[in-house]
């Protein structure tokens, strides 16, 4: 009795607004906070990409309102070359860190990982709250860079030293702006480490009775594997950022060699190595790609199975493939550095595991495709985005085949081919996973259904639009179109400008289409039809509870799990599926 | 709606392939083909590129069209339609991926090594013409050793762009510097191997000549070298491909491939201008 009352007391929901909605310990609120932060970041990032695209094709046209953002960066509304690079840096940083890491991993992972394994909350709720607010702090520090006198940094999201390390001699934005960038990423790393540890501990320790590892939904696995990758990756980026900051403000020379003359000034540094930064950065940077894409793979698998009304051809193979990808992701960072001046022999060493990653990726693709065969695919906004993910993953994946080979990379390195490749596979594919997850889980998260027709319209326009943006990037790359140029003045680049104009139109269009999504999100939140507990006839534990879930998820009880997560295409009392917590045994005959 | 998806996806896949196959932007004269190769090593890279294009292109089309086909066939079926499993199941998929992709990787990896080795594993010939390239925000400068065949030492503290001392030479004290020839364009004799000694004055830069199939970063503090032989007389653009600051987009120079006779007179003229 006393035990029971203690139990209840522990789980009493907070009553004050601050504890409920701001500094909440509830993993569901924290998940939504991550989602909201990602939404703000993706909106800023998208507007930045619009401004860049407009500047690229109309370099001398004033952009209304831009001078309000930065008078020095856009005198009379016309963007300067350095401000273009500032926007490029901020776009990449916001998208990679605050969108692609936050949305598929931290947002959905926080909300659904504990529920899917039958836990009341994360293992360390206070850590969890801290990781969100630390991420928020990192975001604020980064955005502050817009408002410092010199403007945001211009060294790209990769912040290659010594450009990023020597201070304002290297150009505008390389003063305080670059220091804020380093600090922001440093803080972000702390948040990610806390979050990853929490995910790992939660998955290993808080699984409910019957929830063996092999009964976890694939998305739970994906978040678990991702947190293991993130733990090691951010642990390397964090000290690297610290060293960069020290080079900038404390006069150290980790990344700066002797004898550099910048702005006619001999730099007072010696003994550092620019390649060291590249190694540290990409040792994080490549696994980071999988931090973005693995959760999307998991989410897509989970939703695809639900929409196909059948399990995948193999659950285990998918899990093993994700593990293999995670493991290999640590052996390939040098493929970003084939022409960097590192020992040319090491290029071959890095090339081989890079090509090897194609094998688990192809196995996964074939399993997704093969599972569609003979299924009863239900077309919803969520499943359309899953299909879009598969298509984008293939498109972005095959171009990786080129870049993994050092000899071809000599020609294609630093061209728009690379831009097309990573936007498709890491950007669009991962974002499609987030869209799919949103349409799928929104009813559970808010208790309201989203508008399906608007969702489908959003899919069609986004799907076609993103292909129009990112496919032509590959063609431009084949023509040798160099990236990170604020204007195309070279003789061989000028003839390509009409293609850039087409891309700009496509980007403006596709960006505008996202307003449909935002509208749907907001209007459904308040006016959507009430969501039943299990609108998609899904099997995993989050669908056993009301929508939205109560504060302590399972109302103080511990669910018992009897099945693997994908009992579909069977005969049961509920229809063609069985909930994980249903003690009923499935009929053997297919429905 | 599954059928609509199948049609749209097939159209996207086929349309995506058009510019790759025709090398042009839908009926216009905008060309995407890599420019004609003017190097002795580039053909191996080009072959590797086109082999990969065939394999990746076919994989792309096959996967997209298979996806479209399955969605066409199996979307929106009746609720009581029979659920079937792909013949052979996951095993077939794993085997197919291992065999198809495995052999592809092996083939591309092995042949790709050759193309890479052509560029990087062979040292420059002893009689190659040495030229020093220096990259700085936001220009390239080139230095020829002059009659003595030796480059004078560079002193970073003596760099003075206002007085055109881009390399920080000190001819008053260094005998070897006195006949060095500094230029803003890279003129080279045709069919003669060039040994390019690469030095960065300030931050990271890169040396990219599409026609030469060469791209190599300049790394501050690390003097690298590369070698190439240009086989066709003409003027080609050298551009920087490593983000180096606000003038990055405009950092360029020309590679001027000349006949031996023209090169000799060019060099003589430049020497007299020093």
- Chain A residue with the nearest C-alpha to that of B99: A359
Q: What per-residue confidence (pLDDT) applies to A4?
A: 42
pLDDT of residue B34: 95
In chain A the first and final C-alpha atoms are separated, in Å, by 46
Whole-number pLDDT of residue A306: 97
Q: B84, A373: Cβ pair inside 8 Å?
A: yes
Q: Which of A257, A374, A387 sits opposite B5 (nearest CB)?
A: A387
d(CA A413, CA A417): 8
Asked if residue A6 has pLDDT above 60, the reply is no
Measured between CA atoms, the residue of chain B closest to residue A312 is B90
| CA distance to A43, A117, A360, A561, per residue, from A216 (Å) | 33, 7, 20, 10
Q: How many residues does chain A have?
A: 591
Do B53 and B150 lie in one domain? The reply is: no
Same domain, B10 and B54: yes
Task: Report the residue from B105, B116, B202 with minimal CB separation from A348.
Answer: B116
Half-sphere exposure of A301 (CA within 13 A, CB side): 32
Say if the Cβ atoms of A370 and B1 lie within 8 Å.
no
Cβ count near A133 (within 10 Å): 15
For residues B58 and B105, membership in a common domain is answered with yes
The yes-or-no verdict on residue A1 having pLDDT over 80 is no
State how far residue A42 is from chain B, nearest Cα, in angstroms: 24
- C-beta atoms of A411 and B49 within 8 A: yes
Mean pLDDT rounded to a whole number for chain A: 94
Which residue, among B17, B56, B248, would best test binding to A if mutated, counting the most A CBs under 10 Å from its CB?
A: B248
A163/B204 touch (CB, cutoff 8 Å), yes or no: yes
The interaxial angle of helices A344-372 and B42-74, nearest 10 deg, is 20
Torsions phi, psi of A380, nearest 5? -130, 175
Residues 56-75 of B with CB under 8 A from A: 56-57, 59-60, 63-64, 66-67, 70-71, 74-75
Task: Tell me which chain B residues have a C-beta less than 8 angstroms from the C-beta of A488.
Answer: 249
A3: pLDDT confidence band, cut at 50, 70 and 90?
very low
Residues B112 and B142 in one domain: no
Q: Could you tell me how far CA A580 lies from the centroid of its own chain?
A: 29
Sequence-separated contacts (24+) of A200-204 with Cβ below 8 Å: A200/A224, A200/A227, A200/A228, A200/A231, A201/A123, A201/A124, A202/A113, A202/A114, A202/A117, A202/A119, A202/A122, A202/A123, A203/A113, A203/A117, A203/A227
Same domain, B64 and B133: no
Give the C-alpha separation, B205 to B53, whole Å.
Answer: 29
B250 vs A contacts (CB less than 8 Å): 81, 487, 489
pLDDT at B111 over 90: no
- How far is A412 from chain B, CA to nearest CA, in Å? 9
Q: Is B153 on the interface with A (CB under 8 A)?
A: no
The model's confidence at residue A587, banded by pLDDT at 50, 70 and 90, is low
Q: Output the average pLDDT for chain B.
A: 94
Tokens coding B86: 């792909």
| CB spacing of B159 vs A379 below 8 angstroms | no
Would you call B107 an interface residue with chain A, using a CB distance cutoff of 8 Å?
no
Distance CA B92, CA B44 (A): 35
- Interchain contact B239–A (C-beta under 8 A): yes
Residue A360 structure tokens: 């688990």
- Cβ within 8 Å, pair B74-A374: yes
Percent of chain B with pLDDT over 70: 100
**pLDDT tens digits along A110-168:** 999 999 999 999 999 999 999 999 999 999 999 999 999 889 999 999 999 999 999 99
A372–B239 CB contact, under 8 Å = no
pLDDT score at A499:
97
Residue in B96, B105, B218 closest to A358 by CB? B105
Query: Taking a contact as any Cβ pair under 8 Å apart, which residues of chain B between 169 and 198 contact chain A?
Result: none
- Do A407 and B48 lie within an 8 Å CB cutoff? yes
Report how many domains make up chain B: 2
Is A355–B210 a contact, with Cβ atoms under 8 angstroms apart? Answer: no
Residue B133 and residue B269 in one domain:
yes
Indicate if B116 and B133 belong to the same structural domain.
no
Residue B161 sits in the same domain as residue B232: yes
The string of pLDDT tens digits covering residues B30-68 is 999 999 999 999 999 999 999 999 999 999 999 999 999
Domain range for B56 is: 2-78+87-120
Same domain, B22 and B103: yes
The partner residue sitting opposite A370, judged by closest CB among B56, B93, B248, is B93
C-beta atoms of B34 and A480 within 8 A: yes
Query: Residue A523: which residues within 8 A CB-CB, separation 6 or more?
Result: A451
Are both B95 and B189 inside the same structural domain? Answer: no
Do B170 and B258 belong to one domain? Answer: yes
Q: How confident is the model at residue A327 (pLDDT cuts 50, 70, 90)?
A: very high
**pLDDT at res. A9:** 42
**8 Å CB contact of B116 and A344:** yes
Cβ-Cβ contacts under 8 Å, A365 against chain B: 63
What is the distance in angstroms between the Cα of B62 and the nearest Cα belonging to chain A? 10
User: Where do the H-state alpha helices sit in A260-380?
Assistant: 274-308, 315-328, 344-372
Tokens of B256: 């001027």
Binned at pLDDT 50, 70 and 90, residue A574 comes out as: confident
pLDDT tens digits for range A18-65: 888 889 999 999 999 999 999 999 999 999 999 999 999 999 999 988
From A156, A308, A355, residue closest to B105, measured CB to CB: A355
List of chain A residues whose C-beta atoms are within 8 Å of the C-beta of residue B81: 376
Inter-chain CB proximity A405 and B109 less than 8 Å: yes
Task: Give the C-alpha separation, A568 to A576, whole Å.
Answer: 6
pLDDT at site B203: 96
Cβ-Cβ contacts under 8 Å between A and B: the total is: 335
What is residue A2's predicted lDDT score, i.e. its pLDDT?
A: 40
- Residue of chain B nearest A154, judged by CA positions: B245
Bridge partners for B21 per DSSP: none
Name the more confident of A306 and A150: A306
Tell me how far apart the alpha carbons of residues A440 and B12 are, in angstroms, rounded to a whole number. 26
Between A575 and A464, name the one with better pLDDT: A464
Distances (CA, A) of A149 to A69, A141, A377, A464: 12, 15, 55, 40
Structural domain total, chain A: 1
B114 shares its domain with B160: no
Q: Chain A closest CA to B179's CA: distance in Å?
A: 24
A526 has a pLDDT exceeding 80: yes
Q: Does A17 reside within a domain?
A: no
Residue A20: predicted pLDDT: 87
**ipTM rounded to 2 decimals:** 0.96
CB contact under 8 A, B49 and A355: no
The CATH number of the domain holding residue B171 is: 2.60.40.420
Q: CA-to-CA distance for B217 and B207, rounded, in angstroms?
A: 6
- Look at residue A11 in the predicted model and tell me its pLDDT: 61
**Angle at Cα A81 formed by Cα A76 and Cα A83, nearest 5°?**
70
Contacts of A356 in chain B (CB under 8 A): 105
Whether B165 and chain A come into contact, CB under 8 Å, resolves to no
Q: What is the CATH number of the domain that holds A434?
A: 1.20.210.10
- Contact: B112, A351; criterion CB under 8 Å: yes
CA distances, A141 to each of A138, A180, A215, B168 (Å)? 5, 6, 41, 40
Closest residue in B to A165 (Cα–Cα): B203
- Report the gap between the CA of B96 and the closest CA in chain A (Å): 8
d(CA B62, CA A434): 26
Confirm whether A321 is domain-assigned. Answer: yes
A469 to A267, A343, A394, A423: CA distances (angstroms):
42, 36, 16, 10
Q: Which residues of B touch A485 (CB under 8 A)?
A: 248-249
Nearest CB among A166, A259, A482 relative to B156 is that of: A259
B245 interfacial to chain A (CB closer than 8 Å): yes
Mean pLDDT in residue range A482-495? 95
What is the nearest CA distance from B196 to chain A, expressed in angstroms? 14
CA A221-A226-A229 angle, to 5 degrees, is: 135
**Structural domain span for residue A515:** 25-256+266-338+349-577
Q: pTM, whole model, 2 decimals?
A: 0.95
**Contact flag B220-A371 (C-beta cutoff 8 Å):** no
3-class SS at B229?
strand
A153 in any annotated domain: yes
Q: Do B116 and A394 touch (CB under 8 A)?
A: no
Residue of chain A nearest B198, judged by CA positions? A341
Give SS3 for A99. Answer: helix
Which DSSP state fits B195?
E
Q: Could you report the per-residue pLDDT of B123-147, keeping only the tens digit for each?
A: 999 999 999 999 999 999 999 999 8
Is B109 part of the contact surface with chain A (CB cutoff 8 Å)?
A: yes
The verdict on residue A4 lying in a domain is no
Q: Give the pLDDT of residue A5.
A: 41
Whether B101 has its CB under 8 Å from any CB of chain A: the answer is yes
Residue B237 is given by DSSP the state: E
* A341 contacts B224? CB cut-off 8 A: yes
pLDDT value, residue B237 = 97
For chain A, the 3-state helix, strand and coil shares in percent, each to the nearest 5, are 65, 5, 30
pLDDT band of residue B183 (cuts 50, 70, 90) is: very high
pLDDT at residue A501 is higher than 60: yes
Residue among B77, B85, B213 whose CB faces A411 most closely: B213
- At A61-91, the pLDDT tens digits run 999 889 888 888 999 899 999 999 999 999 9
Residue A345: its chain B contacts at CB < 8 A? 121
Asked if A341 lies within 8 A of B57 by C-beta distance, the reply is no
């Amino acid at each position: 009795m006393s035990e029971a009352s203690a139990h209840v007391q522990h789980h009493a929901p907070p009553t004050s607004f601050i504890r409920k909605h701001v500094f909440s310990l509830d993993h569901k609120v924290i998940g939504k906070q991550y989602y909201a932060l990602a939404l703000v970041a993706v909106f800023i990032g998208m507007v930045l990409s619009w401004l860049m695209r407009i500047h690229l094709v109309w370099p001398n046209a004033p952009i209304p309102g831009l001078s309000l953002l930065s008078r020095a960066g856009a005198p009379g509304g016309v963007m300067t070359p350095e401000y273009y690079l500032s926007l490029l840096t901020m776009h990449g940083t916001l998208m990679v860190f605050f969108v692609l890491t936050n949305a598929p991993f931290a947002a959905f992972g926080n909300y659904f990982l504990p529920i899917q394994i039958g836990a009341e909350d994360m293992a360390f709720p206070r850590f969890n709250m801290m990781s969100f607010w630390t991420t928020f702090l990192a975001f604020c520090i980064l955005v502050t860079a817009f408002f410092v006198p010199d403007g945001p940094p211009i060294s790209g999201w990769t912040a290659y030293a010594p450009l990023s390390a020597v201070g304002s001699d290297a150009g505008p934005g390389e003063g305080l702006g670059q220091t804020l960038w380093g600090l922001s990423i440093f803080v972000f790393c702390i948040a990610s480490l806390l979050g990853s540890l929490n995910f790992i501990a939660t998955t290993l320790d808080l699984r409910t009775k019957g929830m063996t590892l092999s009964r976890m939904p694939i998305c739970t696995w994906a978040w678990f594997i991702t947190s293991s990758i993130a733990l090691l990756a951010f642990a390397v980026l964090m000290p690297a950022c610290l060293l960069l900051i020290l080079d900038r403000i404390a006069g150290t020379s980790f990344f700066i060699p002797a004898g550099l003359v910048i702005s006619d000034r001999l730099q007072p540094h010696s003994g550092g190595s620019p390649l060291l930064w590249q190694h540290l950065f990409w040792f994080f940077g490549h696994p980071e790609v999988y931090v973005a894409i693995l959760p999307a793979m998991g989410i897509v698998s989970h939703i695809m199975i639900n929409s196909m009304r059948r399990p995948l051809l193999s659950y285990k193979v998918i899990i093993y493939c994700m593990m293999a990808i995670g493991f290999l992701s640590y052996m390939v960072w040098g493929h970003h550095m084939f022409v960097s001046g590192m020992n040319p022999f090491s290029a071959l060493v890095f090339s081989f595991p890079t090509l090897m990653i194609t094998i688990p990726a192809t196995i996964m693709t074939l399993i997704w495709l093969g599972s569609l065969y003979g299924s009863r695919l239900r077309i919803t906004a969520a499943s359309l985005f899953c299909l879009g993910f598969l298509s984008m993953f293939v498109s972005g994946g095959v171009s990786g085949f080129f870049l993994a080979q050092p000899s071809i990379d000599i020609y294609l390195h630093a061209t728009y081919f690379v831009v097309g490749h990573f936007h498709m596979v890491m950007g669009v594919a991962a974002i499609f996973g987030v869209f799919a997850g949103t349409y799928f889980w929104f009813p559970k998260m808010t208790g309201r259904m989203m508008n399906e027709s608007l969702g489908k319209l959003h899919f069609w326009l986004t799907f076609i639009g993103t292909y129009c943006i990112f496919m032509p990037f590959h063609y431009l790359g084949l023509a040798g179109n160099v990236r990170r140029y604020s204007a195309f003045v070279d003789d061989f680049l000028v003839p390509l400008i009409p293609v850039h104009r087409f891309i700009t139109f496509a980007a403006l269009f596709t960006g505008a289409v996202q307003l449909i999504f935002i509208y749907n999100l907001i209007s459904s939140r308040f006016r959507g039809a009430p969501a039943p507990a299990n609108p998609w006839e899904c099997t995993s534990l989050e669908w056993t509870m009301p929508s939205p879930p109560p504060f302590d998820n399972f109302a103080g009880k511990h669910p018992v799990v009897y099945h693997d997560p994908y009992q579909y295409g069977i005969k049961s009392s509920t229809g063609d599926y069985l909930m994980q917590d249903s003690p009923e045994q499935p009929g053997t005959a297919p429905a | 709606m599954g059928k609509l998806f199948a049609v749209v996806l097939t159209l996207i896949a086929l349309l995506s392939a058009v510019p790759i196959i025709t090398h042009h932007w839908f009926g216009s004269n905008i060309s995407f083909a890599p420019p004609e190769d003017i190097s002795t090593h580039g053909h191996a890279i080009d072959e590797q590129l086109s082999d990969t294009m065939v394999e990746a292109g076919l994989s792309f089309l096959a996967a997209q069209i298979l996806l479209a086909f399955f969605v066409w066939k199996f979307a929106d079926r009746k609720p009581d339609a029979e659920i079937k499993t792909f013949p052979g199941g996951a095993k077939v998929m794993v085997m197919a991926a291992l065999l198809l992709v495995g052999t592809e990787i092996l083939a591309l990896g092995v042949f790709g090594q050759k193309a890479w080795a052509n560029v990087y594993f062979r040292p420059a010939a002893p009689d190659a013409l040495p030229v020093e390239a220096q990259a700085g925000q936001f220009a390239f400068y080139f230095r020829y050793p002059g009659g003595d065949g030796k480059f004078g030492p560079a002193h970073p503290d003596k760099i003075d762009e206002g007085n055109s001392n881009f390399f920080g030479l000190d001819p008053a004290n260094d005998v070897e510097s006195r006949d060095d020839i500094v230029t803003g364009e890279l003129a080279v004799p045709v069919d003669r191997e060039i040994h390019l000694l690469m030095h960065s004055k300030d931050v990271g830069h890169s040396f990219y000549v599409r026609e030469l199939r060469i791209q190599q970063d300049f790394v501050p503090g690390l003097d690298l070298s590369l070698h190439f032989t240009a086989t066709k007389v003409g003027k080609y653009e050298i551009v920087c491909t490593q983000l180096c600051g606000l003038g990055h987009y405009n950092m360029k120079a020309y590679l001027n491939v000349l006949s031996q006779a023209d090169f000799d007179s060019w060099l003589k003229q430049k020497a007299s201008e020093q």
